[in-house]
């Protein structure tokens, strides 16, 4: 049997290729949308991975540092360290804010970590350049997505920090890149009032006779000093000892420290179900619409291509070609179009994914599923065209 499909494609290969390209771009958009959805879910998981924690200890009855504000005294971790099953515990602060570099500003999640060395809870998991923070102050490790370079000076509130290391894929659940700085600086950036607020507070305290008591020098100074000190952190990251049950350790902390503790599964649930659920649902809805539209367009294209050569099909029928051969020609052409479209789409999605402002994660599993769906759509779409072709009256070849 001679491949009619191949001959027909060769006959009008330009049309075929360009149709495949157009279809591919559409599939590329669909794949990208799926990639964005996967990226959002991945952002949430990466956030948990990057923290390097098994348990998140937060303020009572709060959802933790990522979903709700939480404030704890920074010496609570010592008590937690004494509990059985706790291997490591480290304070951490999170604050999404503007970080300045020269004239430009970037939105970033500033993470305050204890500079205890690599691998400690809260520290960046891996670096793509530079080194970890070694000093207790004024050093930063930034994510590549911030656009900062090694050695640059960045401004967080009133202080300047040197970028000493770069990470990759250290992002918040909202996709903001992270900037890691020493905990004490982060506490200052997050909790210390700005200079104007301090001056105003001083004036109010001065005017208050209960605090500025005549004949008692020293009281005012003590009150002012106490107003500008804050020793809070957002959460305590706990890593359990090898072999210990995270749920049991969490139960101990809840019972004896009277704090709220989230395990990895609970934190994942908070991030997935509460934080990104709405956005993810929107993206998913777009994905479904795009898939339906793509399917419809594939069907239209194949149907139009078939109708375009209806006279030739009539001739084929007239010379006695079997229906199966004609149906196979259309099916193979549809599958070929689908294959070209998928390849073009995958290439396009891979090439433009890094340009997207959102993280696009193209999973091989998604690509395989996408290929299968494209092929099924092509088969289904070709059925309509096949039906139209088979109903052609051979007389049209003459009478037309």
Q: Which is nearer to another protein, 96 or 135 (CB)?
A: 135
Using CB under 8 A as the binding rule, whether residue 120 contacts another protein is answered as: yes
Q: How far are the Cα atoms of 148, 247, 248, 298 from residue 243, in angstroms, in the given order?
A: 40, 12, 11, 54
Using CB under 8 A as the binding rule, whether residue 41 contacts another protein is answered as: no
Q: How far are the Cα atoms of 31, 34, 38 from residue 365, in angstroms, in the given order?
A: 12, 11, 11
Using CB under 8 A as the binding rule, whether residue 52 contacts another protein is answered as: yes
Part of the chain binding another protein (CB under 8 A), chosen from 100-108, 115-123, 190-198, 261-269 = 115-123
Cα–Cα distance for residue pair 199/205, rounded to 1 Å: 10
Up-side HSE of residue 209: CA atoms within 13 Å toward CB? 1
Beta bridge partners of 310: none
Part of the chain binding another protein (CB under 8 A), chosen from 117-125, 198-206, 219-227, 274-282 = 117-125
Using CB under 8 A as the binding rule, whether residue 127 contacts another protein is answered as: yes
Length of the chain equals 400
Part of the chain binding another protein (CB under 8 A), chosen from 36-44, 133-141, 300-308, 378-386 = 133-141
Cα–Cα distance for residue pair 354/347, rounded to 1 Å: 12
Residue 177 DSSP code: B
Using CB under 8 A as the binding rule, whether residue 396 contacts another protein is answered as: no
Sole binder of another protein in the list 34, 44, 113, 166 (CB under 8 A) = 166
Measure the N-to-C terminal CA separation of the chain; round to a whole number of Å: 28
Inter-residue long-range contacts of 209-213, CB under 8 Å, 24+ positions, other chains counted: none
Q: How far are the Cα atoms of 65, 206, 218, 223 from residue 213, in angstroms, in the given order?
A: 40, 9, 9, 11
Using CB under 8 A as the binding rule, whether residue 168 contacts another protein is answered as: yes
Q: Which is nearer to another protein, 183 or 299 (CB)?
A: 183
Using CB under 8 A as the binding rule, whether residue 251 contacts another protein is answered as: no
Q: Which is nearer to another protein, 117 or 400 (CB)?
A: 117
Which residue ranges make up the site for another protein (CB under 8 A)?
Answer: 1-3, 6-7, 9-11, 13-14, 16-17, 49, 52, 75, 87, 114-120, 125-132, 134-138, 144, 149-150, 160, 164-166, 168-169, 184, 215, 217, 231, 239, 241-242, 328, 340, 343-344, 346-347, 350-351, 362-364, 367
């Amino acid at each position: 049997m001679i491949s009619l499909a191949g001959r027909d494609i060769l006959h009008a290969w330009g049309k075929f290729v360009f149709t495949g390209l157009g279809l591919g771009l559409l599939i590329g958009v669909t794949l990208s949308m799926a990639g964005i959805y996967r990226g959002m879910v991945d952002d949430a998981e990466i956030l948990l991975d990057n923290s390097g924690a098994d348990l998140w200890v937060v303020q009572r009855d709060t959802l933790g540092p990522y979903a709700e504000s939480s404030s704890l005294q920074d010496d609570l971790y010592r008590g937690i360290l004494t509990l059985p099953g706790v291997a490591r515990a480290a304070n951490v602060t999170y604050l999404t804010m503007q970080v300045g570099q020269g004239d430009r500003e970037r939105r970033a999640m500033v993470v305050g970590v204890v500079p205890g060395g690599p691998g400690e809870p809260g520290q960046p998991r891996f670096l793509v350049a530079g080194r970890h923070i070694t000093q207790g102050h004024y050093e930063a490790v930034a994510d590549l997505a911030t656009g900062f370079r090694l050695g640059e000076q960045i401004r967080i509130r009133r202080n300047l920090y040197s970028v000493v290391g770069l990470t990759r894929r250290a992002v918040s659940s909202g996709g903001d890149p992270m900037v890691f700085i020493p905990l004490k600086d982060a506490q200052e950036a997050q909790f210390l009032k700005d200079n104007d607020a301090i001056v105003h507070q001083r004036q109010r305290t001065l005017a208050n006779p209960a605090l500025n008591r005549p004949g008692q020098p020293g009281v005012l100074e003590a009150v002012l000093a106490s107003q500008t000190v804050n020793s809070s952190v957002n959460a305590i990251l706990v890593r359990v000892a090898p072999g210990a049950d995270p749920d049991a350790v969490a139960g101990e902390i809840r019972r004896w420290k009277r704090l709220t503790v989230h395990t990895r599964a609970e934190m994942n649930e908070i991030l997935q179900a509460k934080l990104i659920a709405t956005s993810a649902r929107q993206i998913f809805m777009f994905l479904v619409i795009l898939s339906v539209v793509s399917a419809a367009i594939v069907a239209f294209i194949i149907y139009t291509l078939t109708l375009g050569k209806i006279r030739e099909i009539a001739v084929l029928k007239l010379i006695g070609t079997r229906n199966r051969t004609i149906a196979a020609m259309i099916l193979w052409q549809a599958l070929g179009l689908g294959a070209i479209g998928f390849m073009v789409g995958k290439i396009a999605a891979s090439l433009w994914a890094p340009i997207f402002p959102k993280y696009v994660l193209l999973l091989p599993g998604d690509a395989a599923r996408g290929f299968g769906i494209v092929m099924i759509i092509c088969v289904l779409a070709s059925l309509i065209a096949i039906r139209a072709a088979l109903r052609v009256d051979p007389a049209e070849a003459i009478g037309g």
